[in-house]
Structure formats: C-alpha cells, structure tokens
Structure 1
Amino acid sequence: MATPNHSLRPIFATIIGIAFFSAMDAVMKSASLALGAYSAFFLRCLIGAIIIGPVWWWRVRKWPERAALKVHLTRGIVVAFMGWTFFFALVRLPLAEAIALSFIAPLIALYLAAILLGEAIQPKAIVGALLSLAGVAVIVSGRLSQTEMSANAIIGLAALLLSAVLYAWNLILQRQQALLASPAEVSAFQNSIVSLTLLGFAPFLLVLPSGSAQCTEWLTLIAGALFAIAAALFLSWAYARAEAQALVPIEYTGFLWAALFGWIFFSENISITTVSGAVLIVIGCWIAVRKDKMQSPP
C-alpha cells in the first residue's frame, strides 16, 4: 500500500510564508514613509515580540538550550541590521525592484558558506555569480538611465546590497535555527532580540505615530507585525522539514507578490529592465544552488 507523500507541504508552506513577507514589505514601506525606516522596523518588531512572546512561553514554559540561544542571538542581530537597511532602501526604491535586487542573497550565501563553513565553491557557482551580477547590472543601468535618478536612489541601492549580504547570512542561520527551535520560539526570540538590538538607537531616531494619522499608522504597524509573525511561522515550519537548497529558490515568487502589491498600493510600474534583470538573477541563482542529479541503480 502506498504511503502519502508529504514532500510538497514544505513547498506550499514556503510559498505562503513568502506571500506574507511580501505583504509585510508593502505595509512596512507605507509605515517607513510615514515614520522612517528605523522607527517602523523597531516598532513592528516590538509589537511582534509583545504578541508572540507570551504565546511561546505559555506553550513551552522552558528556556532554550545554550546552542539554540547562540543561534537566536546571532540571527537576531543580523536581522536587526538586515531589516533596517532593507526598509531604508525600500523608501527610496520601487518594491519590485528592491525585491529583485535582493534575490542575489542565495548566491551570496554560497560564498558565505565557503567562508564560514569551509565549503568548496563549485564552478557552477561562479557561472551563477556572473549571470546574477549581469542581472544586477541590467537593473542598475535601467535605474541610471532614468532622468529621476538621484543621490537618494543611489544610497538606496547601496543599502539594499548591504541588506542582501546580511540576508544571505540570515539564510545560513535560518536552517540552523529551524532545526533547534519551534516556529513560535524562532519568532519570539527574533522579534525580541531585534528590538533589544535596535533599542540603543531609540533616543536619537525613534519617531512615534502622532497627529490625525496616528491610528492608521499604529494599525499599519500591527498588520506588519502580524504578517511577519505569520511568515516566520510558515517558513520555520518549512525549513525544519526540507533542505534550504530545495526551498530557497521558492523565495523568487516574492517578485510576483512585490510587483502586485507595489502596483496596487503605490502605483509602481515595472520596467522591462527590472524584469530582465530579475530573470538573469533567478537563472544565475538556480544554476548555482541546484543539486547535481545522481545516477541511481536500475
């Protein structure tokens, strides 16, 4: 009697998680435009910690082991600056364009794995790197050819590339964390550690919602926190049940969601250079991260 195959569940969970993350990016862009990238990200994570923290403690009532705490702390600090730089860039760039450029993260992760884990760099990773860099060049050249290109947009591009490097490190840590902790624990500690990491900048940068729009701004932040929690729960569940190599390519569906949300909420049009560059980046990353097929005995 055949047993049911549940291998597609992590894939569907990842697709749903990426959709939630893309929705979060859209509402966080709105909040960042109103309050600034730092305040929007800090308040979103603080709200997220307040929501998910008690849920995790009520279910577990046990402090994580030392190995899990170490990964929680490392990833929380990485995500703090990854998210800050990403939303800083998102204020200055169209949503789909920012997501497309962030797709170089899986490729960077291969090279970080070589540095941090001592893994050998395969020739296909070099080919993938060249294709992805060509894709980045296409997107940036399209941006440079526009008359509205400004120093502000150049700063946004630089911040986005820095965020992509940090996101690549985050991808390496995400798989480790998912194997050591439950999805609720991952979300609780990530929101809490990010909040504590960013807290030191609050006296200088924090802007709270105020005026006639404060109710809308708080609701936007709460929505962003709920979307982020939902995404983290789905992705943590998926990464605990499938290899990162199988799930990372699914992150490319985020471009479609970003294009849709950017068009609906910010009236952003997608240029042909952005689409072309995104295609080159995706192909390059697919070549770099795909597994070689092994021959099986007849």
Structure 2
Amino acid sequence: MSLDMTRPASGPAAGRAHRPTLASPGPAVLAIAGIFLLSVMDGVIKFVAETHSTPQVALMRYLAGGAMAFLVFAALRTPRPDRATLRPHAWRSVVVIATALTFFYALATLPLAVVLALSFTSPIFIALFAGLILGERPGRSVLTAIGLGFIGVLVVLSHQITSADATETSHLGIAAALISAVTYALSMVVLKSRASRDPLATIVLLQNVFPALLVAPFGLLAWTATDWKELVLMLAIGALGTGGHLCLASAYRSEEASRLGVYEYTAFIWAIAIGFFAFGEVPGFGTLLGAGLIIGGALLASRRRRLPEPEVDVGP
C-alpha cells in the first residue's frame, strides 16, 4: 500500500478544484478498503466477546493493534512524535476508547446486523461535526446521499428489530451502539484535523497506544484466561485494525470528512458478503433493498468540491 503524503495543490489549479467535479477514486477506494478490514475485524471481535468482558477485549485489541502499528512505524523509520503532536492524539484517544467500549458492548449484546445498522448513523454526525469543527459545508449531493443511506439503514433495521427478541434488542445495547456512532464520528473529524499534519504511521500507532493505556486498568481487573486460538484471533484483530486505520487515515488526509463519512454505509455491504460466503446466510428482500439504497448514496457522494485544508486543532 502506498502511503501518499502529498498535500492538496495550491495556486491556480486549486482554484479550479472549487468547481464540482467527479471525486478522485484514491480516497474513496482507501476509505472503502479500510472499512472492509474493520468490518472483518468487527466479526472476529463479536466472536471473542462472547467469552470475555468488554474491557478485556478492548485491551487485547489495542495491545495487538499497537504491536502491529509499531512494526509499521519502525519499518517506515517514522520520526518520534513531539509533545505538540502527542497532545491532540491523547485527547482523541479518549474518544476512541469510548467508541470501542460502547461498540464492543453492543456487539456482545445485539445481533451484528443490528449493531452495524445503528452504527451507520455515524455519517450524519460526521457531517454535523465537520461543519461545526472544521467549517466544512457539505453540498446538496452529500446531504442527499446521507439521506438515502440512512433510509436504507432504517429499512434493514426495522426488519431486524421487529424479528428479534427483547434480550437482543435491549435498550442498553441500542443506546451503546448509538453512542458509539456519535463518538466514532467525532474521532473521524478529529482525525481529519490531524491527517494532513502527522505521518500516517504516527497517527495509527498513537491511536492504539493511548487507548491501551487508558483501558489497561479495567481490562486487567476483568481479565480471564485465554487459549492460544484466542490469542491468534487477537493478533488478527490487531492486524485488521492497523490496516483499516492506515487506509482511513490516508483517505482522510486528502478528502472532506463529511464526504468520506458516506462510505461508512458500505460496511453493511461487506457484512452481507461475509455472511453469505463464510456462514451461508442469504439476505432477505429488506436487506437487499436497504443495501441498494446504501450503494446509491455512496455513488451519489462521488461528486465533490474541494475545500481548503483545516487549520484547526481539536481538543485541549
């Protein structure tokens, strides 16, 4: 994978980029690839979460991810981050760990399809936070795309909730999934504010190390024995998480956060494919209809206009 460190163009060429044009495929492909890797990771996490507590799963996930990210950091000979770099990433880690804990809890208490459907509200919050924090003004096509994708999610979610029992659709699990969508959106907007300034390897390394430190006391208190198969799965989770976040960090370096947020909806497409090929699950009509709306929204979001790079720091 090529880690493109190039900043957006300036001068006359940049002025022409303000006119609506077709989006460059690079950021979109990277975002979709990153979401695919993280979708596979979610499935593995749900399996592990059936036998271990949420804090322990989060700790193992970030320890494994930190080890993988450090290998990338060392291989690229990335300079050590200074204090000015560490501070915003320390703040972002609070949001990241809040996302992980609430999302992992939702995975452990709700069906995967329901959790994913609820998590797809995150593009709405990404667009809102991008406007409030970064000054982005998503155009009509982005807002329409978000609306189409969200309607598709509602189509899928209505079927899942009405067919599930009371335990699977517990209020706490649903609340946790929605909270994770809000905190995830905030973490992605904060990522956008740093993606053009810090090396990608540094971003992903700190995104694993700081959350591991924060959750370590809770994970160790709730620790239960793991066998070698579970350790292998945790290493796989670390590799998938590191690869996924490298792709997302690279994508957010050169594209508007509100526009890339729409591609979060493709996670449900990956869930359908993984469920069919790995577990023989055949999606129903409602699932396919919702997926069609999600794909339509993602395609509509391919039209864009370039905004200047944000010059803001997020967090204390």
Aligned to 1:149: 165
CA contact (8 A) 1:95 1:262 kept: no
Secondary structure class of the residue paired with 2:51: helix
Q: By how many angstroms is 1:260 displaced?
A: 2.1
Aligned to 1:64: 82
**What TM-score, normalized to structure 2?**
0.75
Task: Report the Cα distance in structure 2 between the residues aligned to 1:126 and 1:226, rounded to whole angstroms.
Answer: 34
Task: Report the Cα distance in structure 2 between the residues aligned to 1:119 and 1:246, rounded to whole angstroms.
Answer: 10
Does the C-alpha gap of structure 1 residues 157 and 272 become closer, same or farther in structure 2, counting only changes over 3 Å?
farther
1:253 paired to 2:269: no
1:225 paired to 2:238: yes
More helix by share: 1
CA contact (8 A) 1:17 1:235 kept: yes
Aligned to 1:296: none
CA contact (8 A) 1:178 1:236 kept: yes
Aligned to 2:58: 41
Task: Report the Cα distance in structure 2 between the residues aligned to 1:244 and 1:288, rounded to whole angstroms.
Answer: 12
Q: By how many angstroms is 1:191 displaced?
A: 0.4
1:168 paired to 2:181: no
The one-letter code matched in structure 2 to 1:90 is L
Residues 110-158 of structure 1: CA deviation (Å, up to 9, x unaligned): 2233444566798888877776665555444323422x42234223222
Task: Report the Cα distance in structure 2 between the residues aligned to 1:8 and 1:135, rounded to whole angstroms.
Answer: 24
Q: By how many angstroms is 1:240 displaced?
A: 1.8
Equivalent residues in 2 for 1:190-205, closer than 5 Å: 190-205=207-222
- Aligned residues with identical type, % of pairs: 30
CA contact (8 A) 1:26 1:262 kept: no
The one-letter code matched in structure 2 to 1:229 is T
CA contact (8 A) 1:18 1:253 kept: yes
Tell me, which stretches of 5 or more residues in structure 1 are unaligned? 1-5, 294-298
Residue of 19, 22, 47 corresponding to 2:36: 19
Does the C-alpha gap of structure 1 residues 290 and 248 become closer, same or farther in structure 2, counting only changes over 3 Å?
farther
Does the C-alpha gap of structure 1 residues 243 and 47 become closer, same or farther in structure 2, counting only changes over 3 Å?
same
1:32 paired to 2:49: yes
Equivalent residues in 2 for 1:1-298, closer than 5 Å: 7-53=24-70, 55-57=72-74, 59-64=77-82, 66=84, 68-117=85-134, 135=152, 137-146=154-163, 148-154=164-170, 155-209=172-226, 214-265=227-278, 268-277=281-290, 291=304
CA contact (8 A) 1:98 1:160 kept: yes
The one-letter code matched in structure 2 to 1:113 is A
Residues 31-86 of structure 1: CA deviation (Å, up to 9, x unaligned): 112323332221011122123225425613422351x3233122221111112211
Does the C-alpha gap of structure 1 residues 65 and 57 become closer, same or farther in structure 2, counting only changes over 3 Å?
farther
**Aligned pairs, number:** 282
Q: By how many angstroms is 1:226 displaced?
A: 0.5
CA contact (8 A) 2:31 2:248 kept: yes
Tell me, which stretches of 5 or more residues in structure 2 are unaligned? 1-22, 307-316
Q: By how many angstroms is 1:173 displaced?
A: 1.3
Residues 179-205 of structure 1: CA deviation (Å, up to 9, x unaligned): 121221111100001111212312442
Does the C-alpha gap of structure 1 residues 198 and 267 become closer, same or farther in structure 2, counting only changes over 3 Å?
farther
CA contact (8 A) 1:76 1:190 kept: yes
RMSD over aligned Cα atoms: 3.3
Q: By how many angstroms is 1:100 displaced?
A: 2.8
Q: By how many angstroms is 1:277 displaced?
A: 4.6
CA contact (8 A) 1:92 1:152 kept: yes
CA contact (8 A) 2:96 2:187 kept: yes
Does the C-alpha gap of structure 1 residues 187 and 34 become closer, same or farther in structure 2, counting only changes over 3 Å?
same
Aligned to 2:309: none
Residues 207-260 of structure 1: CA deviation (Å, up to 9, x unaligned): 341xxxx11111000000001111112222222233334433333322121122
